[in-house]
Amino acid sequence: MTLEAAADANYGTTASGSSFYAAMRILPREQREAMFQIYSFCRHVDDIADSNGPREERLAALQKWRDDVDALYQGHPPARLRDYAATVKRFGLKREDFLAIIDGMEMDVPADIRAPDMATLDLYCDRVASAVGRLSVRVFGMPEEDGVLLAHHLGRALQLTNILRDIDEDAGLGRLYLPREALLHAGITSDDPVKVAAERTLPKVCLPLAERAKRHFEQADEVMKRNARRAVRAPRIMGKYYRAILDLLLARGFAAPREAVRVGKLARIAIILRYAII
């Protein structure tokens, strides 16, 4: 699960059907192409992490991507990253952010994540979401300090929203991203994803996490307000889209059974019109 936390990392959809695509298509050509390269990189490593292949093979495939990133930054990129060389130079993309994304994907591979402690969950969010944001804000042309700060807050806001939205889907994959401390506070001692998803006290776990996501959205908004509109149009569209998802989740509630939530077409168009054009 990655680019949803800086794109639309619901990889059950294609780029052309995602909020990521809607936000990126408004960018100038060079920026748009760079963002689709970042998207492609995340798709490749995420597909490895989420595949049904033997864990040892997935770990080896992710290590090969690390080796290829190293080769890219050493000046002899492999074929699959050859087109990235000019983008890395043009926008000052950092090697450690690409590697952090791979590290985040790998957190799901040796064993499925189940009820991580809050520190581990935050590290996961940083790697699979905020690291993507750190690459993205350089493409958008934001100042370094505010760009890193925006990536920190918006990445976590998007990823926490994903986690709250995908409780049942993740349980079906044997994964549970809700933090251990919150589960114990709600009297839930199991880390079995299916059992936890059916717990009567699950709203006591989810509501504080939703409040945390809201604070990150608000802090991301503060950063974007003080920066040039052209540099924050794309992240603002993604932020508003995911904040709408979070609002729908809060309105629906977290008690089982949970119906899927989706931002309607008219609402999506309104977000794009407001923040991309008007």
Query: What class, spelled out in words, does domain 3-277 have in CATH?
Result: mainly alpha
Lowest mean pLDDT among 14-23, 150-159, 184-193: 14-23
Nearest 5°: the CA angle 275, 277, 278 is 75
Q: What integer pLDDT is reported at residue 5 of this predicted model?
A: 41
Q: What confidence category does residue 212 fall into, taking pLDDT thresholds of 50, 70 and 90?
A: very high
Asked whether the predicted pLDDT for residue 15 surpasses 90, the reply is: no
Residues whose CB is less than 8 angstroms from the CB of residue 273 and which lie 6 or more positions away in sequence, other chains included:
none
Exposed / middle / buried, residue 270 (Cβ in 10 Å: 0-12, 13-18, 19+): middle
Structure-token pair, residue 64: 């090969």
Rounded Cα distance, 200 and 231, in Å: 44
- CB half-sphere exposure, 29, CA atoms < 13 A: 0
The residue that leads in pLDDT, 21 or 109, is 109
Q: What is the pTM of this model?
A: 0.91
CA torsion, ordered 49, 55, 57, 60, to nearest 10 deg: 70
Q: What confidence category does residue 10 fall into, taking pLDDT thresholds of 50, 70 and 90?
A: very low
Exposed / middle / buried, residue 40 (Cβ in 10 Å: 0-12, 13-18, 19+): middle
Partners of 114 in the β-ladder: 176
Q: What integer pLDDT is reported at residue 6 of this predicted model?
A: 40
Residues 207/118, Cβ–Cβ less than 8 Å: no
Residue-wise pLDDT tens digits, 229-270: 999 999 999 999 999 999 999 999 999 999 999 999 898 888
Q: What integer pLDDT is reported at residue 12 of this predicted model?
A: 31
- Long-range CB contacts (within 8 A, 24+) of 201-208: 202/167, 202/254, 202/255, 202/256, 203/253, 203/254, 203/255, 205/178, 205/179, 205/254, 206/164, 206/167, 206/178, 206/254, 207/250, 207/254, 208/182
Q: What confidence category does residue 198 fall into, taking pLDDT thresholds of 50, 70 and 90?
A: very high
Residues whose CB is less than 8 angstroms from the CB of residue 259 and which lie 6 or more positions away in sequence, other chains included:
252
Mean of all residue pLDDT scores within the chain: 91
Asked whether the predicted pLDDT for residue 115 surpasses 60, the reply is: yes
Cα–Cα nearest to 80, from 53, 45, 129, 30: 45
Q: What integer pLDDT is reported at residue 257 of this predicted model?
A: 95
Residues 93/138, Cβ–Cβ less than 8 Å: yes
The mean per-residue pLDDT over the stretch 119-134 comes to 98
Residue-wise pLDDT tens digits, 74-103: 999 999 999 999 999 999 999 999 999 999
Q: What confidence category does residue 24 fall into, taking pLDDT thresholds of 50, 70 and 90?
A: confident
